[in-house]
């Protein structure tokens, strides 16, 4: 277990690092570590992927190379735990296993265990709970993730009146446009994020993304 003093010191150092970033360096950090995963996931919207798959692809906890799903052992174990509670996580974990089997790719011991348990009826799909989702749920998950990431590295949520500097909402709008989706504008991003509590989006995001 991490010592509390070490945790506090690390957190303080991170806050100082974030505060000391110049606007140019903060933007470079965003471009380097966040844009590619977010943009690829935006491009995949409409390809019949679940919210959790959309989010985990954006986080690059799942990677698809030449049509084959790749996931490391730690992320797979996390997904397996979620799959016992969340129907979409259950569907995704079986999708990964079956995809790798069809591609003649080696399954890890954990993947073999999940596949065997599912075939033997020991690992079954949990019942769905919660409210019905909007047609734009996956899009909104990515909007919420993008804004959250931008806020985490120190961008302000909104632009000051008359300002041309980057903010969390404008960066996410830009990512959608760069991915060819011009229906999502600044107001769309702002409204989705502002209504995340009432829509259930924030709760869902926190449930399927343990990094947050």
Q: What is the pLDDT of residues 87-125, one digit of tens each?
A: 999 999 999 999 999 999 999 999 999 999 999 999 999
Structure tokens of 190? 């702002």
* C-alpha 127, offset from chain centre: 23
Helical spans, DSSP H, in the chain: 4-20, 23-33, 35-43, 51-59, 73-83, 87-102, 109-119, 137-152, 168-178, 186-194, 196-199, 201-208
**pLDDT at res. 9:** 55
> Looking at beta carbons, which pairs linking 24-28 to residues 24 or more positions away fall under 8 Å?
26/153, 26/154, 26/155, 26/166, 27/166
- Is the pLDDT assigned to residue 39 strictly greater than 80? yes
Once rounded to an integer, what is the mean pLDDT over residues 188-209? 94
Q: Which residues contact 19 (CB under 8 A, 6 or more apart)?
A: 154
Q: Is the pLDDT of residue 2 over 80?
A: no
Please name every residue paired with 64 in a beta bridge, in sequence order, or none if there are none. Answer: 69
Rounded Cα distance, 68 and 105, in Å: 8
More confident of the two residues 41 and 17: 41
Residue 47 clears pLDDT 90, i.e. is over it: no
Q: What is the pLDDT of residues 48-67, one digit of tens each?
A: 789 999 999 999 999 999 99
How confident is the model over 20-36, as pLDDT tens digits? 888 899 999 999 999 99
Find where tokens 């909402």 sit. Answer: 169
């Amino acid at each position: 277990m991490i010592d509390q003093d070490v945790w506090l010191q690390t957190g303080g150092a991170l806050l100082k690092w974030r505060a000391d970033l110049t606007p140019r360096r903060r933007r470079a950090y965003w471009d380097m570590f966040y844009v590619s995963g977010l943009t690829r996931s935006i491009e995949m919207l409409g390809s019949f992927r679940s919210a959790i798959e959309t989010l985990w692809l954006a986080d690059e906890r799942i990677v698809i190379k030449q049509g084959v799903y790749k996931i490391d052992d730690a992320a797979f174990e996390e997904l397996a735990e979620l799959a016992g509670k969340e129907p979409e996580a259950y569907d995704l974990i079986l999708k990964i296993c079956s995809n790798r089997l069809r591609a003649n790719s080696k399954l890890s011991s954990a993947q073999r265990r999940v596949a065997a348990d599912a075939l033997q009826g020991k690992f079954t799909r949990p019942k769905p709970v919660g409210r019905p989702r909007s047609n734009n749920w996956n899009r909104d998950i990515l909007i919420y993730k993008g804004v959250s990431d931008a806020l985490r590295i120190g961008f302000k949520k909104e632009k000051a009146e008359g300002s041309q500097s980057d903010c969390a909402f404008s960066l996410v709008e830009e990512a959608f446009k760069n991915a060819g989706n011009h229906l999502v504008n600044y107001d769309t991003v702002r409204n989705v994020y502002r209504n995340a509590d009432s829509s259930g989006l924030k709760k869902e995001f926190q449930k399927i993304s343990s990094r947050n």
